[in-house]
Every structure is written in structure tokens, then in C-alpha cells.
């Protein structure tokens, strides 16, 4: 079986809700109360078709002239006169004066068919808008004639093979004044402009769409200088991609607490704390760090204007103005009460889609949650978080906690959306209040469980180890005093150690001198012993030599005596 062929509208969000657009070559009814945006939806359907899909279109107005429409849509950046000259758009104003209508039993739309058919054939139109249909029958009270002609009109449009949009005013207890939804049954879209607690919100709902699946919720939409933007609520899901890439917090010691590398890209970070605890400064450091890497950032502020934020951050060494000038940072500031939650969400979606940032800061979300109920705030933030995660955008929220309450006391439903939660808390001691920061949780990474003192100065932001003194945790002046005392004590101990060292060195030198003297005396005695030993050896050698000489002399004398006796005996007569 072939699926229903659709005609894309080109309107941001509407094609996503309708899974592709309006039914091709079939009429679609767009109904709603005054000021809800019916004419803009119809005209944008034609304009996007002509400019993006090469589908010429015919706009038939029963209320505004071509000149009035051209002036109205010039505010959205469209030049109807130029499009008309290029035969992409044909605008026809059909004036119907109720006083000229006389109900005589015969009433038909043949004249309109001829006029409309000529306009369609002239430019080869594939799209048609009729705005608004009630004016065409404003002078008739015979509902049988009215319904018969409506059937003829819608059948004629189908036979022409054009994709038609018919706008209609909402009636009492019905979608339209004349019950048009009974005849335009293929697709019926209801627009609504409602005011709640003095805040106006526009919403869209697809009442019926035959032959296809479609979103069934109410969808908030925004009308601004660029046209209509519709926020699909059905785009929620938990199928977004994740990455192991890290992004720096802009505070080196905080990165160290987050297992050295900072946050996961595409994660959701919450900074909660009491007024003046430094939440906005942490957000600004995160933004500044991203801009230094060349990444685009959007800062949504609901308390301060952009110039005030830029000026205030200069006091901690941050120059955010340079990133605005370079086109890397864009501020969006407004009061939370300016719009409802859904409208704020639509504005965020639109700005993020246009600017394409990689880092977003929302400061603070507590102002948004004050606009609606807890469930509404949870729904709004859930859709925002899912939208950002789908685009791998890292977002940092700040949340204001009440004075006297712990920084962890935020809405539990909101905290469940957060991947990394930083708590900035007050540390009071001896009449002085200082700041401390700890990581309540950080999904998917090991992180420090210690409290660090959070310091703000002209040199920037720093985290120092909280000092544990005899009386417990010390911060600020108490920490400085205790550190000074311990430094003085350490210096005194160091001086004592130096004195003892010098004393021991003196004694060691004295002992060394004695050792040298004794060694010299020892060497002298040893030398004397060597001399005595040498003398004894020489004496023995001389003694041995003398004995040998004496023995030699005695032997020689004995030989002489014997020779003498022999000679004497020889001389005597026999």
C-alpha cells in the first residue's frame, strides 16, 4: 500500500508535527480565533512553496487587499510585489459587500471558480489559500445553500489538483462558524490564542489528519520578525548520542575536581546556590572558556541585561564583550513574566537553531519555574534538555535557592534532569560569611567529594582547599588567621631547627678537629714504631754481616796456621 503523499509547508516545526506536511492535492482547514495567525500560516505556506519547492501559489483574500498584504508581510522580510512580478505568487482580493448580497434562492460560486481557475492557470499554481471563508457566506442564512456550495468548492479544488489551505473563524462550540470541519475532513488544524495570568500564548493542534500519523498534542508557536516557529513537543526521547569528549569549566581547580578534564560535552550542568554565591560567575567562566576555544555560545538571562552582565564580569577579570564583537557570544535577556513557559521554550529553540551554539547558559531557571507550576516547569525543561542533548549542546543552568536553605534544596524533578550538579554554599564562621563549592553529583565520572572555598577577586575565580582547624572548618579571615598562626609556628620551629642544626654542626666540627688531632698523634706513633722496626731490622742485618765476616776471618787464619806448620815440618831434617 502506498502512503499518503504530502506537500511540505516549509514552516519550522509544522512539517515535523505532520510527518511531512499537508495532504497533497487536498484541502486543509486552518481555524482559530482572531489574531491567532491563520493568515500568516496560509501565506507562509505559499511563500515557502514558491521559494523553496518551486510551487507557485495563489492567495485569495476576502478581507485584505493585495497592497495591505504586501505591507504586512514586508515586516517578515518578504517582497510580495517581486514574487508577483516573477509569477511565483498571485494575490487576488475579492471584495464582498454584504449589502449587495440578496438571497433569492439562487446562489453559486461559479464566478469565484472562474476567477480562481484563471489565476491558477496563469502562473501554473500548485498551492491555493482562501482567507477567510466566512466572508464569502456572510450574507447567507440558508445553511443548505451554504453547505452545498462548500461541497462544490472543496470538490472543485480537489479536481484542480491543487493543495489548498482554507482559513476559518472559530465558532461557538464548534471549530468554525459554519461547521466547515465536516467538509474539510482530510486535515484540520486548530490555532488558539489564549491569555493566562495576563500572559498570551499561541498554540496549535492537529484535530484531524486522515490517512497518516501525526502529533496530537498542543504545540506552542511563535510569530516574530522571521515568521512562524512551532515547537514540536513530540520530539522528546532518550535516543541521543553521547561522547567521551570533555569541555573545560574555565576554572582549573574545578576541572581537577571533575577527574581533571571538566564536563562531558552534551551534558547538563546545574549550579545552585543562594543570592551572591557566584552562580552567574561560574556560568560566565564556562562561556568565556568556550569562546576562547572558538565555540559559539548563547547566554539566556532572566535577571540582568547583557551590558550589566558584561560590566559585572569585568570585576572578576572576564571580558565577555570581545566575544560578542567577534560573533561567538549572543545574549538573550528578558523578564520571565514576558511570556509563558512554552513561549520561552519556543524562543530558545528558534535562537539556538539559528545561531547554532555548542554551549548554552540559562541563568537562572528558578525564575522560569516561578512562572508556571512544578509540572509545567519540569515539562518545559525536559523538552529543552532533550532538544540540546539531541544536538550535543552542553548546557549550564543556574538555580537560586532561598536564603537559609541548603543549596541542595531544589525541585527533585528538576534535579533528575541534571548530569553534573555543583552546589555553592555559604560557610559562616565567627561573624563572617564565605563561599564554598562542592560537587553533589556528576554522572559517568569520578569526582571530588571535598568542599572547596570559592574565591572571587579581580584576578578571577579560584578554588582553595577548605582549611580544617582546631575548631572545625575555617574559611575567609578565620582561615587566614589560622594559617598565619601556623605559619608563625612553623617559622619558629624552623628557626629552632636551624639553631639546633648549627649547634650540632659546631659540635661535629669540634669532634672532627679532635679526630684529626688524634689521627695525627696516631700517625706519629705509627711512624715511630715503623722506625724502631726498621732499626731492629738493620741491626739484625749488620749483626749477621759481622758474624759472617768474623767467620771468614777465622777460617783464613786457620788456613795460614796450617800452612805454617806444614812448612815448618818440611824444613826439619829427617
**Average pLDDT estimate for 526-546:** 84
Residue 379 has pLDDT above 60, yes or no: yes
**Average pLDDT estimate for 459-472:** 71
Average pLDDT, the chain: 83
The 8-class DSSP code of residue 166 comes to E
| pLDDT recorded at residue 185 | 66
Report the percentage of the chain scoring pLDDT > 70. Answer: 83
Identify the band that residue 103 occupies on the pLDDT scale cut at 50, 70 and 90: very low
Q: How far apart are the first and last CA of the chain?
A: 179
**Average pLDDT estimate for 236-246:** 80
**Average pLDDT estimate for 356-365:** 92
| pLDDT recorded at residue 405 | 55
Report the percentage of the chain scoring pLDDT > 90. Answer: 32
- Which grid cell is 557? 787464619
| pLDDT recorded at residue 8 | 94
pLDDT greater at residue 9 or residue 178: 9
If you count them, how many residues does the chain have? 574
| pLDDT recorded at residue 519 | 87
| pLDDT recorded at residue 320 | 95
| pLDDT recorded at residue 481 | 67
| Euclidean distance between CA atoms 299 and 321, whole angstroms | 13
If 0-12 CB within 10 Å is exposed, 13-18 middle and 19+ buried, where does residue 509 land?
exposed
Q: Where in 372-459 does DSSP place strands (E)?
A: 394-400, 420-429, 432-442, 452-457
Identify the band that residue 396 occupies on the pLDDT scale cut at 50, 70 and 90: very high
| pLDDT recorded at residue 97 | 59
pLDDT greater at residue 111 or residue 79: 79
For every residue of 281-308, DSSP letters joined together read HHHHHHHHHHHHTT--EEEEESSS-HHH
411-437 pLDDT tens trace: 555 777 899 999 998 777 666 777 888
The 8-class DSSP code of residue 3 comes to P
**Average pLDDT estimate for 222-247:** 77
Strands 467-469, 472-474: pairing kind: antiparallel
Residue 101 has pLDDT above 50, yes or no: no
| pLDDT recorded at residue 289 | 95
- Which grid cell is 501? 642544626
Identify the band that residue 6 occupies on the pLDDT scale cut at 50, 70 and 90: very high
pLDDT greater at residue 331 or residue 114: 331
| Euclidean distance between CA atoms 523 and 510, whole angstroms | 20
pLDDT greater at residue 342 or residue 14: 14
* 3 state DSSP class of 207: strand
pLDDT greater at residue 140 or residue 117: 117
Amino acid at each position: 500500500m502506498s502512503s499518503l503523499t504530502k506537500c511540505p509547508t516549509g514552516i519550522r516545526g509544522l512539517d515535523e508535527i505532520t510527518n511531512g506536511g499537508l495532504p497533497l492535492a487536498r484541502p486543509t482547514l486552518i481555524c482559530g480565533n482572531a489574531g491567532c495567525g491563520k493568515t500568516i500560516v496560509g501565506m507562509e505556506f505559499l511563500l515557502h512553496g514558491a521559494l523553496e519547492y518551486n510551487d507557485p501559489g495563489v492567495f485569495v483574500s476576502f478581507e485584505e487587499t493585495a497592497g495591505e498584504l504586501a505591507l504586512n508581510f514586508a515586516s517578515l522580510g518578504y517582497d510580495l510585489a517581486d514574487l508577483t512580478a516573477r509569477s511565483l505568487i498571485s494575490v487576488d482580493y475579492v471584495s464582498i459587500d454584504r449589502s449587495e448580497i440578496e438571497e433569492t434562492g439562487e446562489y453559486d460560486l461559479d464566478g469565484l471558480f472562474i476567477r480562481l481557475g484563471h489565476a491558477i492557470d496563469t502562473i501554473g499554481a500548485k498551492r491555493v489559500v482562501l482567507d477567510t471563508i466566512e466572508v464569502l457566506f456572510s450574507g447567507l442564512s440558508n445553511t443548505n445553500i451554504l453547505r452545498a456550495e462548500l461541497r462544490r468548492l472543496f470538490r472543485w479544488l480537489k479536481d484542480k489538483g491543487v493543495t489548498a489551505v482554507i482559513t476559518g473563524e472559530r465558532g461557538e462550540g464548534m471549530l468554525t462558524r459554519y461547521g466547515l470541519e465536516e467538509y474539510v475532513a482530510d486535515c484540520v488544524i486548530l490555532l488558539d490564542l489564549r491569555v493566562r495570568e495576563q500572559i498570551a500564548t499561541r498554540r496549535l493542534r492537529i484535530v484531524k489528519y486522515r490517512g497518516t500519523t501525526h502529533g496530537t498534542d498542543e504545540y506552542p508557536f511563535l510569530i516574530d520578525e522571521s515568521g512562524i516557529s512551532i515547537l514540536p513537543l513530540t520530539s522528546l526521547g532518550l535516543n541521543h548520542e553521547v561522547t567521551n569528549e570533555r569541555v573545560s569549566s574555565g576554572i582549573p581547580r574545578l576541572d581537577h575536581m571533575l577527574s581533571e578534564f571538566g564536563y562531558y560535552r552534551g551534558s547538563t550542568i546545574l549550579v545552585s546556590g543562594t543570592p551572591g554565591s557566584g552562580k552567574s560567575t561560574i556560568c560566565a567562566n564556562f562561556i568565556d572558556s568556550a569562546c576562547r576555544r572558538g565555540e559559539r555560545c548563547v547566554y539566556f538571562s532572566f535577571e540582568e541585561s547583557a551590558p550589566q552582565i558584561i560590566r559585572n564580569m569585568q570585576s572578576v577579570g572576564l571580558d565577555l564583550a570581545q566575544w560578542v564583537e567577534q560573533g561567538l557570544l549572543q545574549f538573550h535577556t528578558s523578564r520571565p513574566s514576558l511570556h509563558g513557559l512554552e513561549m520561552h521554550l519556543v524562543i530558545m529553540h528558534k535562537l539556538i537553531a539559528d545561531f547554532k551554539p555548542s554551549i548554552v547558559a540559562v541563568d537562572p531557571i528558578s525564575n522560569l519555574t516561578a512562572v508556571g507550576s512544578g509540572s509545567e516547569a519540569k515539562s518545559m525543561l525536559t523538552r529543552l534538555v532533550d532538544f540540546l542533548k539531541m544536538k550535543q549542546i552542553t548546557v549550564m543552568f543556574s538555580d537560586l535557592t532561598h536564603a537559609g536553605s541548603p543549596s541542595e534544596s531544589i525541585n527533585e524533578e528538576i534535579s533528575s534532569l541534571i548530569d553534573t550538579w555543583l552546589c555553592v554554599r555559604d560557610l559562616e564562621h565567627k561573624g563572617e560569611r564565605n563561599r564554598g563549592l562542592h560537587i553533589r553529583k556528576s554522572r559517568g565520572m569520578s569526582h571530588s567529594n571535598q568542599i572547596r572555598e570559592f574565591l572571587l577577586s579581580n584576578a578571577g575565580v579560584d578554588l582553595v582547599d577548605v582549611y580544617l582547624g582546631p575548631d572545625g572548618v575555617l574559611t575567609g579571615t578565620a582561615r587566614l588567621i589560622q594559617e598565619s598562626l601556623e605559619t608563625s609556628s612553623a617559622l619558629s620551629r624552623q628557626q629552632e631547627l636551624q639553631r639546633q642544626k648549627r649547634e650540632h654542626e659546631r659540635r661535629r666540627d669540634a669532634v672532627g678537629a679532635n679526630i684529626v688531632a688524634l689521627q695525627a698523634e696516631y700517625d706519629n706513633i705509627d711512624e715511630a714504631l715503623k722506625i724502631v722496626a726498621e732499626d731492629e731490622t738493620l741491626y739484625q742485618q749488620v749483626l749477621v754481616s759481622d758474624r759472617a765476616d768474623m767467620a771468614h776471618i777465622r777460617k783464613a787464619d786457620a788456613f795460614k796456621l796450617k800452612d805454617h806448620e806444614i812448612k815448618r815440618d818440611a824444613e826439619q831434617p829427617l
